[in-house]
Amino acid sequence: MASSRSQQLVEELKKLQISSPDIQASAIVSADGLIIASALPHNVQEDRVSAMSAAMLSLGERISQELRRGNLDQVYIRGDNGYVMLIAVGEDAVLTILAGVNAKLGLIFLDIKRTAAALEELI
């Protein structure tokens, strides 16, 4: 049963990447920083991505609360070579995606919200 659920999670990640070609990689990470499922390139270290994703979401939640900005919706980081976006999947997981520098962010935000809702039902 667990392996079929893992396969369903990976399939959701693959569907996300097919529907949004600007998304280069994706992963679902537990709130404590462990990888749940991923569609990351081989040159990306899953354990590093998972630990940093959980830390960034936690920090984003604390900042949002401390500065009275309400509940955290998403965190995104823009670098010279593209974007890292994080969105909560329920209370126990994080969806992390990597997108290219010319990504259409509005479309990606819609797709990751839809995917996060679908993943929440599976987790």
CA-to-CA distance for 46 and 34, rounded, in angstroms?
Answer: 9
Structure tokens at 62: 């604390």
Could you report the per-residue pLDDT of 58-106, keeping only the tens digit for each?
Answer: 999 999 999 999 988 899 999 999 999 999 998 889 999 999 999 999 9
CATH code of the domain made up of 2-122:
3.30.450.30
Q: SS3 helix, strand, coil % of the chain, rounded to 5?
A: 45, 30, 25
- Residue range 2-58, pLDDT digits in tens: 568 889 999 999 999 999 999 999 999 998 999 999 999 888 899 999 999 999 989
pTM for the model stands at 0.88
For residue 3, what pLDDT is reported?
A: 64
- What pLDDT does 4 receive? 86
Angle at 24 between CA 94 and CA 21, to 5 degrees: 110
pLDDT for the residue numbered 47: 92
Structure-token pair, residue 58: 């936690």
Tokens of 61: 């939640």
pLDDT band at 1 (very low <50, low <70, confident <90, very high): very low
